[in-house]
Chain A
Amino acid sequence: MQNKPYKPKLLWLQSITCNGNTHSFLNHPDLFSILENFELIHHPTLDSEYTMADVLSKNVPCDILILEGSVIENGFKKAGVEVSSLIHAYAGKAKHIISVGTCATFGGIFKQNNPEEISGLCFDLEEKTQHYEKYASKLISLPGCPVHPRWLSFVLLMLAKNKSIDIDSLHRPKELYGYTVHNGCTRNEYFEWKIDTKNFGHKEGCLFYEQGCQGPYTRGSCNKILWNDTSSKTRVGTPCFGCTEPNFPQQSLFTTKTNMGIPAKIPLGISKRAYLTLTGVTKSFKIKRFSKDLLEYD
């Protein structure tokens, strides 16, 4: 008898979550061909090998742990079992841990109701948690609220093919988070010439100056690998809220904080002096094309 190739055993575990990462991944158009590479031990909604009761016994196999949701050490039980004890049982056993979403990675939105006790598994905002050292060698972070389905599939397929994934200091894959959300935004020309959108609901203009867009300093390839294979927040005129960042969500998300009329937080890695100089230069030009609507170019 021919031996079947070994399929890594995949366990998707939910902690404090809205299930948004689960549903985001279900949108993946190639979902089942991706999952074909794995043995699905347990998943919140998809048919799987073992029941939740089996998972609670802490005895099911697990090569790859996908963790969705933020973590509290005490006080969240499933059928009498502390969820954190499940996480540690399987995180210890797994060869790879993928924290999907900003909650599992940094603590995310639900951390705000109990900042002292709720965090990500290995990071509490940007700080390493007590568990970091234990899991660091096998951790891959996929922040985003929710995680992008294609980002997760990239990591899963790389692991299935035994390829190494280059990661940054927060364990995010460089291929996915080396970009800012600003890269590939269809409003880039308006950013270059410092032209803000007049109000919500226009194709024209940049959202960075007044509407609170965090795209220029938020890591993530949302405008390279589009959402639902079709669009992104900024493409439909919604500001980027920085949902992949450790400090998501911040306050006043639809308003840009400014200093002397200039966005208080400037694009990633750019010195204030360089930004101010460039702004002064670009603003001194009036480009006629940008005073018109995109579809009125005759």
Chain B
Amino acid sequence: MKKLQIKQLIEKIEGEAELDFTFNDGKIEDVKINFGFYRGIEEILRGKTARDALVITPRVCGICNHAHLIAAVRAIEDGYANAGENITLTSKAKDIREFTLICELIQNHIKWLYMTMLPQLESYLDKKSGENYAIKATYLASRITKALAIFAGQWPHSSYAVPGGVTCDPTYVDVMQAQSLVDECIKFFERVVVGLSLDDYLAIDSVSSLHKVDGDFGKLLHLIGDNGMSTIGQSYDKFIVFGDSILSNAGKSIVTNISNVDVKYVSESSQEGSVAKAVTYKNKLFEVGPLARGMVAKTPIVKSLHKNYKDSLLSRVFARVHEVALLLAHSKKLLAKLQLDELSCTLDPHSKLDDFEGVGIVEAARGSLIHKTTVKNGLITNYDIITPTQWNLSHGNETQQGIAIKAMVNSTTIEEATFIFRTFDICSVCTTQ
């Protein structure tokens, strides 16, 4: 048995990561995942007023900042409810928050498809097309973030969601502009991403009709399928979702059995030699993210892929891009039903609550994001952020290797393993905070 250690710097992800591979007899036996700098957002929050978290926490991450805002505001609202002051949001405020969050997921997934998956796969397979994929990514991403900014003022780093609702008070002029941006994104998705109408694409419910997918997504699926990569990258087939959203309700999926979850069983632990904390549910490892949402929601096409390819790279990649279609369709519905005559914010500006504890959960691009806030005398005494990537990228526990590590084990080349790694949509800044 020949053991070999190789270090590899992974770039062009969100930040950078260093992978430390251990090969045994030509196969990967273990991987250590190391990230850069611990910035201490939780420490920075201590001693600040409760609502300052709405400004500070988005700065955890440049690509999923809006999810942090929504988690932060939900944590405060949950804290108010726990202290006996229930806040009821208007449907308008709920719909606007849901819309802006959806916009952020769409920009994330499209950037990942075009700026990570396609160029990295072409480069790994030595089939470089020389195409400027980034121009496609930014075409769609800048339009959908503009739609977001119509309500939230800006992206990245908006703080427009406040306890009781949202700060904006849009008019139909605003809504029409957002609708036309969403329509443009749908056109782009149809013509460029999948080469099908959105309805025809969404009608695909099994692997047998996957061949209909054309466009750049079709190209990616072909590259994966034609090069024998459909079944690689499998992990433990255990998934968890904590937040309810249009994509899925909360729940966990273990070999296709779905059951309930409770956030109180989530625990964090520090990892030796890493600035990132590991996280488990009842001491067990779970994968979070689009594939988890697809499995828990029993999305037909995701279930069909899973039946054929398990929790492989192909299932994982597909589930993420598929969310773009689901979210685009839903965002249109949300805008159409906005009740502009309702209040934007229902919380009395003079209501003052100085002691509470609350939890905010949101389904972010990479999976469940959890914020926990403890406020005493109006000031934050403890703040806890558990990011999706902490689930997928931890080193694991005493008995099992981490989710992404398991997916890379047994791979024979670093190139293949790092591509598998990238299918998890890596974000170093969220993992380390």
Contact = CB atoms under 8 A, between A and B. Distances in A.
Interface of A: 14, 16-24, 26-29, 31-32, 44-47, 51-53, 56, 76-79, 109-110, 112-114, 145-146, 198-203, 210, 227-238, 241, 243, 249, 251-255, 295
B156 A23 contact: yes
Given A79-B9, A231-B153, A231-B154, A20 B146 contact: no
Interface in B361-392: none
Nearest to A81: B9
B285 interface: no
Given A200-B164, A253-B52, A26 B142 contact: yes
B11 A18 contact: no
B159 interface: yes
B139 to A, nearest CB: 9
Interface size grouping (class) on chain B? 35 or more
A200 B166 CA distance: 7
A249 B54 CA distance: 12
List of 10 A-B pairs having minimum Cβ-Cβ separation, nearest first:
A201-B344, A113-B40, A19-B62, A201-B345, A20-B62, A227-B154, A237-B167, A228-B149, A236-B153, A236-B168
B155 interface: yes
Nearest to B42: A113
B51 A253 contact: yes
A79 B18 contact: yes
Interface string B405-433: 00000000000000000000000010000
B5 interface: no
Interface stretch (B130-138, B286-294, B313-321): B130-138
A66 B43 CA distance: 28
A138 B334 CA distance: 49
A232 B62 contact: no
Interface string B114-158: 010001000000000000101101100110011011111111111
Contacts of B177: 230
Given A26-B141, A227-B149, 19 more contacts: A17-B62, A26-B138, A27-B145, A28-B142, A78-B9, A79-B18, A198-B349, A200-B344, A201-B93, A227-B153, A228-B154, A237-B344, A238-B159, A241-B159, A249-B56, A252-B49, A253-B51, A254-B51, A254-B54
Nearest to A114: B40
B16 A236 contact: no
Contacts of A234: 153
Contacts of A255: 49
Given A46-B134, A233-B154, A19 B168 contact: no
Contacts of B16: 52, 78
B15 A232 contact: no
A238 B157 contact: no
A26 B115 CA distance: 11
B250 interface: no
29 contacts: A18-B429, A19-B15, A19-B63, A19-B429, A20-B59, A21-B62, A23-B156, A26-B111, A27-B142, A28-B138, A31-B135, A47-B132, A52-B11, A56-B9, A76-B37, A79-B9, A145-B157, A146-B156, A199-B345, A199-B347, A201-B165, A201-B168, A202-B344, A228-B149, A230-B146, A236-B152, A238-B153, A238-B160, A254-B52
A145 B59 contact: yes
Contact of B62 (A23, A235, A252): A23
A241 B48 CA distance: 14
A24 B153 CA distance: 13
A252 B48 CA distance: 7
Given A19-B62, A24-B156, A146-B156, A236 B151 contact: yes
Contact of B145 (A31, A114, A228, A238): A228
A51 B167 CA distance: 43
Contacts of A21: 62
Contacts of A23: 62-63, 156
B155 A27 contact: yes
A27 B168 contact: no
A201 B115 CA distance: 37
A198 B37 CA distance: 42
A20 B64 CA distance: 9
Given A29-B142, A199-B349, A45 B12 contact: yes
B44 interface: yes
Nearest to B116: A45
Nearest to B45: A112
A27 to B, nearest CB: 5
A46 B54 CA distance: 30
Given A21-B62, A200-B162, A200-B167, A16 B39 contact: yes
